[in-house]
Amino acid sequence: MKVMWLGHNLAYPPKGGALQRNYNLLREIARKCEMHVLAFDQPVTRPANVTPQDCIQALLRFCASVDWVNLSSSSLRRTRYGLALTGLMTGEPYDLAWLRSAEMANKMRKMVEKVSPDVVHIDALGLAQYLPAIGSSGSVLNHHDIESCKIELRAKKEHNLLLRSYFGLEARKLAAAERKWCPQFNVNAVVSEEEGAVLSRACPDLTVRVVPNGVDTEYFTPRADPGTRTILFCGSMDMHPNQEAMEYFLRRIWPRVVAQAPDVNLQVVGRKPPEWLKEVANTDCRIQVTGFVDDVRPYFQKAAVCICPILSGGGTRLKILDSLAMGVPVVATSFAVSGLSLEHDKHLLLADTEEQFAKYTLHLLSDLSLRSRLASVGAERVNQVYSWTVVGRILMDAYDIAYKSRRGTK
């Protein structure tokens, strides 16, 4: 089978979030299919010393071809604020305006003509606008999260009235875009049963397949308990849900923890930390903010506990799976594990109040037997359900369905 992948990032380096998911799925599918990639380059998603050509060379290790288009923001209309204002005037969602490119449309048509793909994987709702270019190929629309729900939740949590109105309007525009585009695809791929149910209620009669997030179980392997007093949070710190999570933890939970365990320390690992977070670290020597790191595994190896106090956002949290794969016990909110088949006090600990979160974090710091039990069962669960090999087979099944039901066939 020949598969064309239209992406909103170049999937390299595979450090967190969509980049990690895309890189690993591309690698898994390329074991069975001839894979052709066309993607936007987003400079913000890669370190300054990694060029688009570096990304292409990494993907060409297993893909048949890779091409890219610069996601430019050089003009005022292409800046975040310019696109937002354009959306207010046109009624179009930000994501569709952001990912619109005449160069991309042209390259899309040429690649389809050259490759004649059996299936085209379109990796975000904002890219659905390129569907008319694929001809009679089978089509899969991937949802890293349900965009309308994610933005609606952000609107509800926003205190600024102007921003609340903007995000509420954006959520409604995204919901309209989902109703328009999702039914036009042979298969819609989501990361969880819950998000599949949300999409199906909005767009009845869709063919939906759950393709969960996963973990590279050959890269992230269990480590021995380090016996430290270190708490770890991993996540891209230019993402709103991660900033919100750390603000919640540091204001509401951290004081409770250090009151009973003054020797504890916290490491926050992830690209582009905001200034306010760096200032907090400067005033508390127990907090270390690293920014981007090439390899997160040494931080997992030294951590006694990994925290995920996520309160909003969408999709499922890859860092929870990475933590469990390395045998690091996790304390998380129920929201953070939504969509993951994980149980409280079996695979991890769930805490939905600041009192619970502090209590469970302290409990894990002091109880080696509890850490060992959760580490063992959590790692086993990840290997059985969330390895990229398993997830890749699920996506391959979705491609088979799309191919058999592609446009122009009966």
pLDDT at 365 (0 to 100):
97
- Asked if 206 and 237 sit in the same domain, the reply is no
Q: What is the mean pLDDT of residues 159-180?
A: 93
186 and 88 housed in the same domain: yes
**What are phi and psi for residue 393, nearest 5 degrees?**
-65, -35
Least confident segment among 89-103, 121-135, 348-362: 89-103
Note whether residue 242 is domain-resident: yes
Give the pLDDT of residue 74: 40
In the predicted structure, residue 77 carries a pLDDT above the cut 80: no
Residue 355 confidence (pLDDT)? 97
Residue 408 scores a pLDDT above 90: no
Residues 74 and 153 in one domain: yes
Is residue 76 scored above 60 in pLDDT? no
Q: Taken in order 46, 17, 321, 14, is the CA torsion positive or negative?
A: negative
Computed over every residue of the chain, the mean pLDDT equals 91
User: The domain spanning residue 58 has which CATH number?
Assistant: 3.40.50.2000
For 30, other C-beta atoms within 10 Å of its C-beta total: 19
* Count of the separate structural domains present in the chain: 2
pLDDT band at 89 (very low <50, low <70, confident <90, very high): low
What b/e readout covers 92-111, taking b as 16+ CB neighbours within 10 angstroms? bbbbbbbbbbeebeebbeeb
Mean pLDDT, residues 122-129 taken together:
97
- pLDDT one-digit tens code per residue, 284-335: 999 999 998 989 999 999 999 999 999 987 544 788 999 999 999 999 999 9
Tell me whether residue 409 is in a domain: no
Per-residue pLDDT at 75: 38
Let me know if residue 152 belongs to a domain. Answer: yes
For residues 182 and 291, state if they share a domain. Answer: no
Q: How confident is the model at residue 113 (pLDDT cuts 50, 70, 90)?
A: very high
Q: Which tens digits make up the pLDDT trace of 148-163?
A: 998 998 899 888 999 9
Residue 210 belongs to what domain range?
Answer: 2-214+388-404
The order of strands in the sheet holding 330-332 is 287-291, 265-269, 230-234, 305-308, 330-332, 349-350
Q: Which amino acid is at 171?
A: A
pLDDT band at residue 406 under the 50/70/90 scheme: confident
Distance CA 344, CA 119 (A): 39
Same domain, 134 and 234: no
User: Do 102 and 244 lie in a common domain?
Assistant: no
How many other β-carbons are positioned within 10 Å of the β-carbon of residue 342? 22
**Contact between residue 114 and residue 108 where contact means Cβ atoms under 8 Å apart:** no
For residue 345, the model assigns a pLDDT of 95
Are residues 357 and 242 both part of a single domain?
A: yes
Q: What pLDDT digit, counting tens, does each position of 228-275 carry?
A: 999 999 998 988 889 999 999 999 999 999 999 999 999 999 989 999
Give the pLDDT confidence score for residue 153 in this predicted structure. 86
Confidence of residue 87 (pLDDT cuts 50, 70, 90): low
Least confident of 85-94, 106-115, 387-396: 85-94
